[in-house]
Amino acid sequence: MRRPIDSLFGRLVVLVIGVLVLSHVAWFAVIRVERDNNQTRYAVEEATFLVEAVRQHIANSPDQPLPSRVRVVSPTSPDVPKPLATNATDDLPPPLGRFLDDIRDRFPDGTDVRLGEPGAPPSVWVRGVRDTNWIVVPVQPLRPPRSRDRMLVWLAIIFSTAVMAALLAAWQLQQPLRSLAQAVARFGRGQPTPPVPERGPRELRQLTHGFNQMVREVSQTENDRAVMLAGVAHDLKTPLARLRLRAEMMDEPKMRDGVVRDVDSMAHIVDQFLVFAHDRADGSEPIEVDQQCEKIARTYRAVAPNAPPIRTRLEAGPSFVLPAATLDRIISNLLDNAHAYGAPPIVIETSRGAHGWVLRVADHGAGIAPEDLIKASRPFVRLDPARGGSGHSGLGLAIVERLARRIGGECEIGNHEGGGLQVVMTFPFDVATRPVAERRTGSQREERTI
């Protein structure tokens, strides 16, 4: 089961959202604290200014009336609040406690500062050493932080915008990596891999450039090897034909049959070389796999009467189609391999799987040792060196895997529970039913490139 968090985009999303949440929460807390400090600082500045203004007013023009809410009260007045010593400072709200501490620091030592009685308009009572009366000035209300702040709405809007922008940036960042990962997967399956656009950060562009260069060099090496192999195999066909003709004209039957058999083995190896070296798209018409498998099985019985019996379990239906030439080569190579190294019965099965069409060929022989399975599909590898003289070149399973991948399929080689080797090929629905015109166009394009 694929988990979204396993992808680069999923982890970037989690990382970006987590960082944004932490940063917004931290900024919200800092702004609230700073706003409360600013509110207290402004109230202290205003109260200090009013007290100094009242003192100057008393000294310069005592006959002029004072502004509203500003009073001068006699020390003997019953309205004077209780001394601060009798108030529980710790019980005051934090903003009010900070206000008292800050305003005491602004006045000289010995200044008595008291708060107005609760329930009355907010005011502060100040009496300095040289003041004969109490100076009462209004104070801005120091409101505690509200549980629901208007700032939360703005933070939510900013957070949502930042998340969308970050997700867009993360998506654009992971797109080049996703394209490169898909190209690597195609290259690993042996499918044609077009150059990947070099975009994104510098390191990613360098990585993509290196991958494109590697694909070009590997493709060039494969083409050179295929051309060399095809040329050698093609040049060998003519002398082999002359050798067979001369062998058939020999008078000694035993000698003639042995030479003809050796020539046929060499001709089979040459044909395998040509099939393996052929690296162009199959432009043949698509054909029903079930029908063609049944036909190949009957033909195989007719051509090789002593061959082990072939069983068919064809359940895919007429919708499963593959290029005719590719299908013939795949089935023929698998039947030859099972006939040479396996044991009867040989089974050909087709079915419709969850992720594509399934074609399976299995025998009931000894199978392949688990440690040798990884080498089974490598070119020119024979797991049993003693089989080298039987006309086999070690290309049978390599050809099957190459042909299957060339048309977009996957090939899995292994041993089944009943004993024996099985080759399971899975072909996606859209690739298996691709129009022949598209494949021919791809074939012609590859020919022009070569």
Domain-located, residue 293? yes
Are the CB atoms for 43 and 102 separated by under 8 Å? no
Number of domains comprising the chain? 2
Domain-located, residue 352? yes
Domain-located, residue 357? yes
Who has greater pLDDT, 389 or 114?
114
Instruction: Please report, rounded to a whole number, the percentage of residues in the chain having pLDDT higher than 90.
Output: 3
Q: Is the pLDDT of residue 4 over 70?
A: no
Domain-located, residue 14? yes
Are the CB atoms for 345 and 308 separated by under 8 Å? yes
Domain-located, residue 31? yes
Q: Which of 138, 167, 199 is the last residue of a domain?
A: 138
Q: Which of 109, 138, 167 is the last residue of a domain?
A: 138
The model's pLDDT over 16-37, given as tens digits with 9 standing for 90+, comes to: 788 888 887 888 778 777 777 7
Could you tell me the pLDDT band of residue 351, with boundaries at 50, 70 and 90? very high
Q: Is the pLDDT of residue 293 over 80?
A: yes
Instruction: Determine the structural domain holding residue 132 and report its residue range.
Output: 4-138
Q: Which of 138, 157, 190 is the last residue of a domain?
A: 138
Domain-located, residue 21? yes
- State the pLDDT at residue 358: 92
Other CB atoms within 10 A of residue 34 CB = 10
Q: Is the pLDDT of residue 165 over 80?
A: yes
Min mean pLDDT across 49-53, 272-276, 317-321 is at: 272-276
**Span 77-106, average pLDDT:** 72
Who has greater pLDDT, 358 or 140?
358
Could you tell me the pLDDT band of residue 191, with boundaries at 50, 70 and 90? low
Domain-located, residue 61? yes
Domain-located, residue 296? yes
Q: Is the pLDDT of residue 40 over 90?
A: no
The model's pLDDT over 146-157, given as tens digits with 9 standing for 90+, comes to: 545 666 777 788
CATH of the domain at 408: 3.30.565.10
The token duo for 325 is: 């030439």
Q: Is the pLDDT of residue 359 over 90?
A: yes
Q: Choose among 394, 360, 389, 362: nearest CA to 376.
A: 394
The model's pLDDT over 246-264, given as tens digits with 9 standing for 90+, comes to: 777 777 777 777 777 777 7
